[in-house]
Structure 1
Amino acid sequence: MPLATTGDLIGRGAAERSAVAAFNVITLEHVEAVVAGAESVRRPVLLQVSENAVKYRYGRLLPLARAAVAAAEAAVVPVALHLDHVQSDGLLRQAPDAGFSSVMYDAARLPYAENLAATRAAADWAHSQGLWIEAELGEVSGKDGAPPLDAHAPGARTDPAEARAFVHDLLRELSGALDVPLVLHGSSGDPDGELAAAVAGGIAKVNVGTALNMAMTGAIREHLAPVPPPPAIP
């Protein structure tokens, strides 16, 4: 099947009042497992490659991206590629030629005004290339070894008024409403009922990362546990 685009998948999901699952992939095994899972339930899926995953792969985007494109084109369900949590402008500019139709540009580490300016510039460039762009207010906690924020701590949740102003400044034709798809970051560990409620409340894209890695490493441990160690070499 031809490589799908994020816009097409989000649009179809909105028409069905559903959301698109977006899985962060690091290895070819991740890619194959996510595509196989999507095929088993006959649902479209997004393959996400984060900037951290690119760093893990020695700073090279194309090897994993090319593998993901090949898997997507061989799939019997629509599959699109999304470049996730990009802070590097250099990496951002690799997205179109690598097969990505959308990018999450992460300037949330910056103060609000600087985040807005950086994201506006990134959005202008992305739109000129036909890319969808996703942006972030506040930061996803619990990353890079830092403990997660308490759910009621300042910054743990996006402020609705600030989100409205953020989108209004970026997309001037909008006035007073968030007429853009919303993304749920950090869904791992949330009960199915809460995820369904989030989608009913307007979430159009659900990101999954930790849960996928926990399932993979758990399966590897379970497989290897009964395997006896190799004999000692005299």
Structure 2
Amino acid sequence: MFSPTREIIADAQRKGVGIGAFNVITVEHAEAIVTGAEAAGCAVILQISENAVRFHHGRLGPIAAAARRVAELAAVPVALHLDHVESDELFDQAAANGFGSVMYDASRLPYADNVRATADAVRRAHAHDLWVESELGEVGGKDGTHAPGARTDPDEASAYVAATGVDALAVAVGSSHAMVTRDARLDHDLIKRLKAAVDVPLVLHGSSGVGDDELHEAVTSGLVKINVGTALNVAFTGAIRRTVEQDATLVDPRKYLRAAREEMATTVSWALRVVTRL
């Protein structure tokens, strides 16, 4: 069932658990995420990034419509989130394409410019009842490297939330985008200080590189929205590779895409059980 992001996040906060947010690149990703969430009995967030939109020839509408329909037919609450948006043009398409939330990413800008751009984006989004996430203290690894030194300062985070009016804050606490190993070590003391400093939900990007116990502790320390992307792509690609290697005559894409979808669904169920474990 399709649900607003703010409601799913608020419910997770009331229960003291995390909510998994998984990257959608293809329709198979969306189907796998919902299948995994249904198996785990958990609400979930489907998120489409600006990079994914670029992959789809820069057209948001088709992949958004497909993900929205998958969400509507789900047996668990499912939200639709537009992620890591740097383009104002794309940002302004979110409401018309059925999204309940959007992550406006001005983290590459100097602090004052980030605040100014994000505050303006929040004003535009709130006029359409969109829930807005933003980022402070750039999370490392967007080029595939592990950058463990990136950190968000609690005092700066408090000032940033007050100045921009964002509804959630993605923080740098030791994770990194695009990791294919699960050895990232998070700063749990910093997570607790950030939770005490701001009154909005905290978001962890780069969760694929974080081990089960570390991820569970991060949720108990104060993180709410847990973003997972690379782990799905590892599962997707691995399943296709194994299936094709087993049969050199295989040409029907449904056979290897089915395997990929099933492997991703298993990954989603695992992740959701970790972040919702009390």
With normalisation by structure 2, the TM-score equals 0.77
Q: 5 Å matches for 1:164-203?
A: 164-171=158-165, 177-203=197-223
Paired residue type of 1:217 = T
> 1:132, 1:171 → 2: CA distance?
10
Paired residue type of 2:45 = L
Partner of 1:95: 94
> 1:34, 1:171 → 2: CA distance?
30
Percent same amino acid at aligned positions?
Answer: 54
Q: 5 Å matches for 1:39-54?
A: 39-54=38-53
Paired residue type of 2:108 = R
Q: Say if 1:146 and 1:41 are closer, same or farther in 2 by CA, change over 3 A.
A: closer
The CA deviation at 1:225 is: 1.2
Residues paired across the two proteins, number: 221
Partner of 1:5: 4
Partner of 2:153: 159
* 8 Å CA contact 1:22, 1:47 repeated in 2: yes
The CA deviation at 1:177 is: 3.7
Structure with the higher helix share, 1 or 2: 2
The CA deviation at 1:148 is: 2.6
Partner of 1:32: 31
SS of residue matched to 1:225: helix
Partner of 2:18: 19
Residue 146 of structure 2 is aligned to residue 148 of structure 1? yes
> 1:168, 1:70 → 2: CA distance?
35
Paired residue type of 2:95 = P
Q: Structure 2 unaligned segments of length 5 or more: list them.
A: 167-195, 251-278
> 1:147, 1:191 → 2: CA distance?
18
With normalisation by structure 1, the TM-score equals 0.91
Deviation sequence 1:110-139 (CA, Å, 0-9, x none)? 000000000000011111110000011122
Partner of 2:54: 55
* 8 Å CA contact 1:109, 1:138 repeated in 2: no
> 2:57, 2:138 → 1: CA distance?
25
The CA deviation at 1:229 is: 4.6
* 8 Å CA contact 2:44, 2:78 repeated in 1: yes
CA RMSD in angstroms comes to 1.5
The CA deviation at 1:222 is: 1.2
Partner of 1:84: 83
> 1:76, 1:112 → 2: CA distance?
42
The CA deviation at 1:141 is: 1.9
Larger radius of gyration: 1
